[in-house]
Chain A
Amino acid sequence: MIKKVVKNAEIAIKGIEDNMTLMLGGFGLSGIPENSIAALRKSAATNLTCISNNAGVDDFGLGLLLQTRQIKKMISSYVGENDLFEKLMLSGELEVDLIPQGSLAERCRAAGAGIPAFFTPAGYGTEVAEGKEVREFNGKPHILEHAFNADFAFVKAWKGDEAGNLIFKGTSRNFNPLMAMAGKITVAEVEELVPAGELNPNEVHTPGIFVQRIFKGAHYEKRIEQRTVRQR
């Protein structure tokens, strides 16, 4: 079996350099690679371009790398809920590329699937379409979107095995399987790491071929952004 298991996040992020492009899974704070983000902060790598649906909150998630000014550019679909982000963006310290969520997902998937570009109706007629090729299919205009190119992808799964196979839980799956496909080096962190043979192959969401390094996260805070409950 190809050896993929590494001991911890610090070893898993080996090879990270300034100016690299990273993908980070998660939707809001759900399914984010908490341990890898902590290790990236320690690494002090700077001028990073981060592709992630959101940018965390002020003191958690990617917000931690904004605090240390390690991120040069964010490519996201939604960045509310983060005051520091807004301040850095308005002052011009942080470059931001906002793109439709479905296009963000598909650009990750395409990168991993060997599809260099695709046409989508999302964003036609808006500023998102500026400078992009427009073509009509079935009488409807579509814009050309390109696959991403990422040096590293950091994803978080619920369970993983030594072969790199991953299973996600609930809505924490989101962008993780797509980014796993897209990274030149994909680092998966999991809550539970089991020997090969213990995951049911029928239930694997991300096959191990997409994962180069895997480790068991030392700690998961799993912070909730909007705790909404009903009364009994």
Chain B
Amino acid sequence: MALDKNGIAQRIAQELEDGYYVNLGIGIPTLVANYIPKGISVEFQSENGILGMGPFPYEDEVDADLINAGKQTITAMPGAAFFDSAMSFAMIRGQHVQLTVLGAMEVSESGDIANWKIPGKMVKGMGGAMDLVASADNIIVAMMHTNRAGQSKLLKACSLPLTGVACVKKVVTDLALLEITERGFELKELAPGVTVEQVKNATEGTLIVDGDIPEMQLS
């Protein structure tokens, strides 16, 4: 059975390593914070100006001056720090943040990503996404394998305006975990119960299947 959004987040959380500073985008990536593996410590950065972001507040802790980049009310963990937006993007461009997880509308087999604009339809803006993808070394995309119309979001080339070029390293979808290499989308793991055939049918870009593909281990 394909993964739901929480399942995708759970698998991505396994990529966290002790000591990582992590920036989580809006949507599925935000859920990754719920599945930090036991025994490791990570800190979450939100580009509007906090390091050490904590969970949502209890009703009586809500503070209009304490939000994340999705404009949701949040809390600050012990050891947190606040800073201005230039300092925040210095952390990002300066590669002090080890892992960036973000959503996408399309990803290409060469690692291009599109997630900020549908010409004539949706123009919300890129926010911090272009700075994040241009700078981070380790970028994981969390998204569904196909869009609502059933079309593949893993393409030979993106059709929408790009957010960044050749930057995505890994994609975790409801169907699979794939790494982007010079050869294309390399299938590394299948979601529980999903077949290679299903992934093939849902992937427009070049799919590389080497040997037996293991099933994801989600505890």
Contact = CB atoms under 8 A, between A and B. Distances in A.
A173 B88 CA distance: 11
A77 B62 CA distance: 26
Contacts of A203: none
A103 interface: yes
B123 interface: yes
A29 B131 contact: no
Interface of B: 46-50, 55-59, 62-74, 76, 82-86, 88-89, 92-93, 112, 123-131, 134-135, 161-165
Given A79-B123, A89-B123, A121 B82 contact: no
B64 A222 contact: yes
A125 B130 CA distance: 10
Contacts of A104: 85
B49 A171 contact: yes
Contact of B56 (A31, A79, A177, A228): A228
30 contacts: A27-B49, A27-B69, A30-B48, A30-B64, A77-B127, A79-B123, A79-B124, A98-B125, A98-B126, A100-B126, A100-B131, A102-B131, A104-B85, A122-B93, A122-B135, A123-B130, A124-B165, A125-B165, A128-B130, A168-B82, A169-B65, A171-B48, A171-B67, A171-B68, A172-B65, A173-B49, A177-B84, A225-B67, A226-B73, A229-B62
B62 A105 contact: no
B84 A78 contact: no
Nearest to A229: B59
Given A105-B85, A124-B165, A100 B71 contact: no
Contact of B125 (A76, A105, A122, A158): A76
Given A103-B131, A122-B134, A173-B84, 17 more contacts: A29-B64, A77-B125, A77-B127, A105-B86, A122-B130, A125-B162, A128-B126, A128-B130, A168-B82, A169-B65, A171-B66, A171-B82, A173-B82, A224-B73, A225-B67, A225-B71, A227-B73
A152 interface: no
Contact of B64 (A174, A175, A223): A223
Given A30-B65, A230-B55, A101 B127 contact: yes
A101 B46 CA distance: 12
B130 A222 contact: no
A1 B163 CA distance: 49
Interface residues of A, number: 59
A128 B134 CA distance: 12
Contacts of A53: 85
A35 to B, nearest CB: 15
A176 B125 CA distance: 20
A15 B63 CA distance: 34
Contact of B65 (A31, A109, A177): A31
Contacts of A188: none
Contacts of B162: 125-127
A225 B72 CA distance: 7
A135 to B, nearest CB: 14
Contacts of B128: 77, 100-102
